[in-house]
């Protein structure tokens, strides 16, 4: 199963705060829904997330890398994972914008590929679940950045 989506949101934090946040893989990993455990490494983060899809229940073990491009004000995130006999690959990118009012806009796009029982269990349901997970990840990111912006204001 493959799925793509895109969107845009604003956060109440300066671009410098947002840029510092998205460069740290462990910070981005904390935004994943159902995250249970995060281990930070110098160049990546590892996370365990709870999965519930149909009758399947268990844990996915993920490796998350961020690749910042400061000149383009763009960060690319790659997540690879395995668990429950399935594999997951997520590629996402966000471009930061500065509307000039102390906030930051993020235009994002993402693509998820799932193989194995997780893809087979859900069919069409899995697409809506994938969309919800992507949206929730970015909502969590937005909430954490808004909180970071308000503590610095």
Domains along the chain?
2-152 (3.30.530.20)
- Per cent of the chain over pLDDT 70 is 88
CB 29 within 8 A of CB 22: no
Q: Which of 25-29, 33-37, 77-81, 141-145 has the lowest mean pLDDT?
A: 141-145
The pLDDT-based confidence of 153 (bands split at 50, 70, 90) is very low
Which residues does residue 6 pair with via DSSP β-bridges, in sequence order?
A: 109
* Strand arrangement of the beta sheet that strand 35-40 belongs to: 2-11, 104-115, 86-97, 74-83, 56-69, 45-53, 35-40
Distance from C-alpha of 90 to C-alpha of 55, rounded to nearest angstrom:
23
Q: Work out the angle at residue 116's Cα, subtended by the Cα atoms of residues 125 and 78, and round it to the nearest 5 degrees.
A: 85
Distance from C-alpha of 95 to C-alpha of 77, rounded to nearest angstrom:
12
pLDDT for the residue 51: 85
The pLDDT-based confidence of 123 (bands split at 50, 70, 90) is low
What number is the average pLDDT over the span 28-36?
Answer: 91
Look up the pTM and report it. 0.83
Burial classification of residue 94, based on how many CB atoms lie within 10 Å of its CB (0-12 exposed, 13-18 middle, 19 or more buried): buried
Mean of the per-residue pLDDT values of the chain = 86
What number is the average pLDDT over the span 55-79?
Answer: 92
The pLDDT-based confidence of 125 (bands split at 50, 70, 90) is low
- Closest by Cα among 1, 7, 2, 44 to 137: 7
């Amino acid at each position: 199963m493959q799925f793509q989506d895109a969107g845009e949101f604003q956060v109440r934090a300066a671009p410098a705060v947002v840029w510092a946040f998205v460069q740290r893989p462990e910070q981005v990993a904390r935004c994943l829904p159902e995250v249970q455990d995060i281990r930070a490494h110098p160049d990546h983060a590892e996370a365990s997330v709870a999965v519930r899809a149909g009758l399947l229940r268990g844990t996915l073990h993920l490796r998350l890398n961020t690749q910042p491009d400061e000149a383009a004000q763009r960060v690319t995130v790659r997540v690879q994972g395995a668990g429950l006999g399935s594999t997951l690959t997520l590629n996402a990118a966000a471009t930061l914008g500065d509307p000039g009012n102390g906030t930051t806009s993020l235009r994002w796009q993402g693509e998820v590929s799932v193989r194995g029982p997780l893809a087979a269990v859900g069919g069409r349901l899995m697409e809506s679940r994938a969309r919800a997970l992507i949206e929730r990840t970015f909502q969590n990111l937005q909430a954490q950045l808004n909180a970071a912006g308000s503590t610095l204001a």
